[in-house]
A and B are shown apart, each in its own frame.
Chain A
């Protein structure tokens, strides 16, 4: 990948504090290049979601604050901006847990994504058609309330809604959460397709490391509010620690629990 050019999104050593007291991110830096799929791996509470929210500035809505460091998008500093302004620039977060508007129909839900387009009716319509071509399933259910569609459809709806806002980079927060493996695969396929066809950069926060590393080009491993490891997807997949802790593999591949050694491998990056 074109690593030499200036990254599209540059997160520089940020620190996030919630409620003035809880230090969640302790200096996180990462880069996402134009059209790249980068993934953010880590266990529960590692700070993945917070990182994404710090980038999209949603962290403010949760009474958090970026106290140190900078976020740059497209060469401009954006960490002081208001969240909707970032959406307008093309930074769109797809939130964890399928936040659809449950009282809206699927179509209305998608249309809210076009809010930042203003009165551009034609563009909105085209965008809607495009979303329907990517997610034919949504077209079928366009008049259903999003509160009553399935989890997979909700996730599609959320991604589709993001697509409506002319994204340049999408911050996906655990798109695989709570979905059947088959559906997960379907959604990841679409993500890759979007990345290829629409040239949308992706920053993917995932617990499902195997899946993420399969589709992403670059990966960051987070623990305790810090990025502890980063590298190309292949490099990471080969890393013994990643294998042990995130992929559930040991050096010799999958093993039966009967053969598991009764001691733990220590993480070398202990934070």
Chain B
């Protein structure tokens, strides 16, 4: 029985880690109908940038480095929206999907030429100790990121439900044209969405980067996150955070 619970909890933790990526997908899909292939690459880039600020090129304190990374992701959001998506407004979603494919190549290439191709360790000072509770091993690292994910999701829900801009973003995702007709500037809304997705990608990049090292494979996590996304619902932001499914899946896999 303890084994069962351990598997369940472990699965839950894995699920939360994946849901961080899935969240970014869902956000962008919802706000701009774009299936963002570059989500993984964004995480990669954020991780690389953070390593650059923290260990590689500069040695900034963690909070400043995080802030700078978010700044970098904001610039990316600007570039993507105004250079890539703006000329493609109202094109079929497939074209936008393809454009993000190009963005993926761009980000990977630029990221790796600036920061190099080796796997880099990322240490943000969260201890990866494990302790035992009732025969079940838990990792402080996992718990920390579960907490971060919870705060992030709560924050996003608050933002989307309660603030003016959040409401505007939801409006945009429901109906672009009607949103335009009540005076919500579409590009600004997209820009905002991509910034948020950039922040989510940063968190995901940090979480996965500390675990795996910051390296190219972060770009592939996105594919692994797809099942989470589909089960949770491609267009649902709370849905992206349904890691329970992951837990159940790993239980089933073990028992078979």
Find the B residue at minimum CB distance from A124.
B164
The distance in angstroms between the C-alpha atoms of A94 and B173, with both chains bound, is 18
Whether the Cβ atoms of A87 and B177 lie closer than 8 Å is no
How many of A's residues come within 8 Å of B, CB to CB? Answer: 34
The distance in angstroms between the C-alpha atoms of A88 and B181, with both chains bound, is 11
Interface residues of B (CB under 8 A from A): 89-90, 164, 167-168, 170-171, 173-186
CB neighbours (8 Å) of B90 from chain A are 61-63
Find the A residue at minimum CB distance from B30.
A103
Whether the Cβ atoms of A115 and B178 lie closer than 8 Å is no
| Given A61-B90, A63-B90, A108-B167, residue A115 in contact with residue B174 (CB < 8 A) | no
Interchain CB contact (< 8 A) of B164 among A56, A84, A115: A115
Whether the Cβ atoms of A61 and B171 lie closer than 8 Å is no
Query: Main secondary structure on chain B at its contact with chain A?
Result: helix
Interchain CB contact (< 8 A) of A82 among B179, B181, B185: B185
The distance in angstroms between the C-alpha atoms of A58 and B180, with both chains bound, is 7
| Given A61-B89, A62-B90, residue A83 in contact with residue B183 (CB < 8 A) | yes
Interchain CB contact (< 8 A) of A103 among B174, B177, B184: B174
Interchain CB contact (< 8 A) of A112 among B176, B177, B179: B179
Q: Tell me, rounded to whole Å, the shortest Cβ–Cβ distance linking B108 to chain A.
A: 32
Q: Tell me, rounded to whole Å, the shortest Cβ–Cβ distance linking A182 to chain B.
A: 26
Q: Tell me, rounded to whole Å, the shortest Cβ–Cβ distance linking B86 to chain A.
A: 12
- With an 8 A cutoff between CB atoms, is A92 at the interface? yes
Q: Tell me, rounded to whole Å, the shortest Cβ–Cβ distance linking A55 to chain B.
A: 12
Q: Tell me, rounded to whole Å, the shortest Cβ–Cβ distance linking B26 to chain A.
A: 13
- With an 8 A cutoff between CB atoms, is A245 at the interface? no
Find the B residue at minimum CB distance from A56.
B181
Query: Main secondary structure on chain A at its contact with chain B?
Result: helix
- With an 8 A cutoff between CB atoms, is A165 at the interface? yes
CB neighbours (8 Å) of A93 from chain B are 181
Whether the Cβ atoms of B182 and A92 lie closer than 8 Å is yes
Whether the Cβ atoms of B180 and A112 lie closer than 8 Å is no
- With an 8 A cutoff between CB atoms, is A122 at the interface? no
CB neighbours (8 Å) of A29 from chain B are none
Whether the Cβ atoms of A88 and B175 lie closer than 8 Å is no
Whether the Cβ atoms of B181 and A92 lie closer than 8 Å is yes
| Given A61-B90, A62-B90, A108-B167, residue A113 in contact with residue B185 (CB < 8 A) | no
Q: Tell me, rounded to whole Å, the shortest Cβ–Cβ distance linking A205 to chain B.
A: 14
Listed from nearest, the 3 A-B pairs whose CB atoms lie closest are A87-B183, A99-B178, A101-B174
| Most chain B beta carbons < 10 A, residue from A84, A111, A112, A119 | A112
The distance in angstroms between the C-alpha atoms of A161 and B181, with both chains bound, is 10
Find the B residue at minimum CB distance from A114.
B164
Find the B residue at minimum CB distance from A88.
B183
CB neighbours (8 Å) of A111 from chain B are 164, 167
17 contacts between A and B (CB under 8 A): A56-B181, A58-B177, A61-B89, A61-B176, A82-B185, A83-B183, A84-B180, A87-B181, A95-B177, A100-B175, A100-B178, A101-B171, A103-B173, A103-B174, A109-B171, A115-B164, A161-B182
The distance in angstroms between the C-alpha atoms of A164 and B184, with both chains bound, is 13
Q: Tell me, rounded to whole Å, the shortest Cβ–Cβ distance linking A117 to chain B.
A: 9
CB neighbours (8 Å) of B174 from chain A are 101-104
Whether the Cβ atoms of B182 and A61 lie closer than 8 Å is no
CB neighbours (8 Å) of B182 from chain A are 87, 92, 112-113, 115-116, 161-162, 164-165
The distance in angstroms between the C-alpha atoms of A100 and B186, with both chains bound, is 16
CB neighbours (8 Å) of B173 from chain A are 103
CB neighbours (8 Å) of B180 from chain A are 58, 61, 83-84
Whether the Cβ atoms of A104 and B170 lie closer than 8 Å is yes
Whether the Cβ atoms of A84 and B183 lie closer than 8 Å is yes
| Given A61-B89, A61-B176, A63-B90, residue A99 in contact with residue B168 (CB < 8 A) | no
Whether the Cβ atoms of B177 and A61 lie closer than 8 Å is yes
Whether the Cβ atoms of B175 and A101 lie closer than 8 Å is yes
CB neighbours (8 Å) of A119 from chain B are 164
Interfacial residues of chain A within 20-78, with CB under 8 A of chain B in the complex = 56, 58, 61-63
CB neighbours (8 Å) of A88 from chain B are 183
Find the B residue at minimum CB distance from A162.
B182
The distance in angstroms between the C-alpha atoms of A62 and B168, with both chains bound, is 20
| Most chain A beta carbons < 10 A, residue from B168, B170, B178, B181 | B181
Find the B residue at minimum CB distance from A146.
B174
